[in-house]
Chains A and B, each alone.
Chain A
């Protein structure tokens, strides 16, 4: 697609949101476009960064991610302290989180993309990720349907470091742990390896700024997974296949209300649409030159199944690399810090599965 008609279509959708939905939603659509352009333009893949660290001892992607976490926390935590109406991404430490994060880390390597990665690669036109997206949504929906049962296995109340230690304490603790992880990464990679890369640094700075803008406008941190679960829940309800009144998650007041509204009123949905559009714009700029590998039928089947399980586990883990890791850690949620080692453990298994199927 040419860039001009695409830009015109995006502008028309922006005006439609402005006129018929809400000014806030129009603004969040622009934020989403920026996120998609930053993710796709810098090829800022959380999954790829972890894979390169493990397989090639290349620390540049993970260093970019650590910088993103540090910058986002530096911007978000003072805002949370100053504006009580802003919410942190507080998920409950639980069995659900442990299992979900591990399985998510495993499957994201097979599916070659986390929540945001699947979105921007689908926007770029990568066939497997386009196929995964609806299955990710279905998995996310089913995860939300079963979430109550998973939480019954054991949970504690969410822990917010900003309310626990104040802005200064939470920020200092966050930076200290990030620096410790950075040193560990450096040691693993070896001191002779390149430390950073312009692409990852630019992506980290852009994403940190846009994630902060999302927090300021929406009042809550950037997320991906909830929107997809909502889309599948709406479709299932409309088809008569699901009764939200009989489900613990979807009968809760906020979720039940969002089921009755258009998804264009949902903040996560609108940034997801923006990310797809932003990535599509980057694909148009690059002339559709994104490299695509041929896949065997087995690889397609394994990739699609992994995408479905990834959606399911993202709901159990209270977010993906964006909702749990980036938003959780940058807003001082303990669950973000639990999510990372569990997902990384899953990634170590996922890389072996990935190699087994020749991805």
Chain B
């Protein structure tokens, strides 16, 4: 278990980085295509402050809403 895993900067970082970004892109494309089409008429206000609309996003501090 203590064998050193050879991770010289360029050799293993490049494929790992490629894998990481490819997986992220695939997830985002899949998610966008699999989700219902966004209704642009229901677009949230550009600036929440002063809009009079309560924030609708999820946040890690909230136990759920």
Contact = CB atoms under 8 A, between A and B. Distances in A.
A86 B45 CA distance: 13
Contact of B58 (A131, A258, A324): A258
Given A217-B46, A238-B34, A292-B7, A87 B59 contact: yes
A273 B20 CA distance: 13
A318 B9 CA distance: 36
Given A22-B44, A234-B31, A262-B38, A85 B49 contact: yes
Given A125-B13, A298-B2, A151 B63 contact: yes
Contacts of B27: 231, 235
B2 to A, nearest CB: 5
Interface string B5-40: 111111011001100100110011001101110101
Nearest to A336: B61
A35 to B, nearest CB: 15
A27 B61 contact: no
A324 B31 contact: no
A254 B64 contact: yes
Interface in A199-221: 215-221
A332 to B, nearest CB: 12
A31 B50 CA distance: 19
Interface in A130-189: 130-131, 133-134, 147, 151
A215 B61 CA distance: 14
B42 to A, nearest CB: 9
Nearest to A86: B49
Contacts of A147: 63-64
Contact of A89 (B31, B61, B65): B61
Contacts of B24: 273, 276
Contacts of B12: 127
Interface string B47-62: 1111111111111111
Given A218-B55, A226-B59, A264-B32, A295 B38 contact: no
Interface residues of B, number: 49
A189 to B, nearest CB: 30
Contacts of A258: 58
Say which size band chain A's interface belongs to.
Answer: 35 or more
Contacts of B3: 296-297
B36 to A, nearest CB: 7
A42 interface: no
A238 B35 CA distance: 11
Contacts of B10: 288
Contact of A297 (B1, B9, B31): B1
Nearest to A323: B60
Nearest to A265: B38
Interface stretch (A105-113, A245-253, A347-355): A245-253
B16 to A, nearest CB: 5
A274 interface: no
A264 B31 CA distance: 9
A130 B38 contact: no
A72 B5 CA distance: 42
Contacts of B61: 89-91, 221, 223, 318-319, 323-324, 327-328, 333, 335
Smallest CB-CB A-B distances: 5 pairs: A219-B48, A219-B55, A225-B60, A267-B57, A262-B35
8 contacts: A134-B23, A221-B61, A264-B28, A267-B57, A267-B58, A296-B3, A318-B60, A333-B61
Interface of A: 20-24, 27, 79, 82-83, 85-87, 89-92, 122, 125, 127, 130-131, 133-134, 147, 151, 215-221, 223-227, 229-231, 234-235, 238, 248-249, 252-255, 258, 260-268, 273, 276, 288, 292, 294-298, 300-301, 314-315, 318-320, 323-324, 327-328, 333, 335
Given A91-B62, A300-B5, 12 more contacts: A22-B38, A83-B50, A85-B52, A217-B47, A217-B48, A218-B57, A248-B64, A249-B63, A262-B35, A268-B58, A294-B8, A296-B5
